[in-house]
Chains A and B, each alone.
Chain A
Amino acid sequence: KNEVEQSPQNLTAQEGEFITINCSYSVGISALHWLQQHPGGGIVSLFMLSSGKKKHGRLIATINIQEKHSSLHITASHPRDSAVYICAVRSGGYMKTSYDKVIFGPGTSLSVIP
């Protein structure tokens, strides 16, 4: 079992729908990242969270440290949101250490249909 899981694995939505992508992890973390990988392969960092909630445009990311769970929400989805969304956690302590690890989830492939 991966230390970072995402659901769903694949998601197809109609334009305008509200979308939720979930990430759960089993390790202690110092931060959680949401990344977007476009169909062309480029990767963009969307959010970095260590607590609470962040919003950027139509994207909202939340994290619940106690439940080891994070969600990425997309409001009013658009075909240009079609991409793979990847959750990544940074485990280990808050100090610079040689065993500080970054673990990626398997990604959620989102397709938004016009």
Chain B
Amino acid sequence: DTAVSQTPKYLVTQMGNDKSIKCEQNLGHDTMYWYKQDSKKFLKIMFSYNNKELIINETVPNRFSPKSPDKAHLNLHINSLELGDSAVYFCASSQGSVGNYGYTFGSGTRLTVV
């Protein structure tokens, strides 16, 4: 019974396409995140939502649009995909938004743009 689940696990797509990655958590956490891990394995936060409200929006292109229909789901939609978007995207959740709680991570979505 996966705590934070992401789909798909792998995604290969052509430049210019629009794609979505879905994330769901069944932990009852109120905060969810999207992180990007680049080819050098460096993690960077992209977005954070607390109770469906955006609280962190790092400098990412506006081709990336997160959507949180409820506090158990945080989806990431990417328009006009570019080669540089190739990375592993991790979803995570925590209880509380001020960093005083640990994170639970999904298993990652490996996006390859060709």
Q: Kindly state the separation between the CA atoms of A50 and B48 in the bound complex, as whole angstroms.
A: 20
Q: Are A100 and B56 in contact (CB under 8 A)?
A: yes
**For residue A97, which residues in chain B have a CB less than 8 angstroms away from its CB?**
55
Q: Are B105 and A104 in contact (CB under 8 A)?
A: no
> When the two chains form the complex, which single residue of A42, A45, A96, A104 contacts B97, counting CB atoms closer than 8 Å?
A96
Interface residues as binary, B98-114 with A (CB distance below 8 Å gives 1, 0 otherwise): 11111111011010000
Q: Are A31 and B99 in contact (CB under 8 A)?
A: yes
Interface residues as binary, A35-63 with B (CB distance below 8 Å gives 1, 0 otherwise): 10100011111011010000000000000
Tell me if B44 is interfacial: C-beta within 8 Å of chain A: yes
Q: Kindly state the separation between the CA atoms of A48 and B41 in the bound complex, as whole angstroms.
A: 21
Interface size class for chain B?
A: 20 to 34
Q: Are A41 and B88 in contact (CB under 8 A)?
A: yes
Instruction: Name the residue on A nearest B88 (C-beta).
Output: A41
**For residue A50, which residues in chain B have a CB less than 8 angstroms away from its CB?**
100
Interface size class for chain A?
A: 20 to 34
Q: Are A101 and B98 in contact (CB under 8 A)?
A: no
**For residue A37, which residues in chain B have a CB less than 8 angstroms away from its CB?**
41
Main secondary structure of the interface of B (DSSP, over half): strand
- What's the minimum C-beta distance from A43 to chain B, rounded to whole angstroms? 4
- What's the minimum C-beta distance from A110 to chain B, rounded to whole angstroms? 13
Q: Are A98 and B56 in contact (CB under 8 A)?
A: yes
**For residue A47, which residues in chain B have a CB less than 8 angstroms away from its CB?**
102
**For residue A98, which residues in chain B have a CB less than 8 angstroms away from its CB?**
55-57
Q: Are B100 and A31 in contact (CB under 8 A)?
A: yes
Residues of B within 8 A of A (CB): 33, 41-45, 48, 50, 55-58, 88, 90, 92, 97-105, 107-108, 110
10 A-B residue pairings within 8 Å (CB atoms): A29-B99, A31-B99, A43-B92, A48-B99, A48-B101, A96-B98, A98-B57, A100-B98, A104-B43, A107-B42
What would 6 more interface pairs be, CB under 8 Å, given A31-B99, A35-B105, A48-B101? A29-B99, A31-B100, A94-B98, A100-B97, A102-B48, A104-B42
Pick the 7 closest A-B CB pairs, nearest first. A90-B99, A31-B99, A43-B105, A45-B102, A104-B43, A102-B45, A45-B103
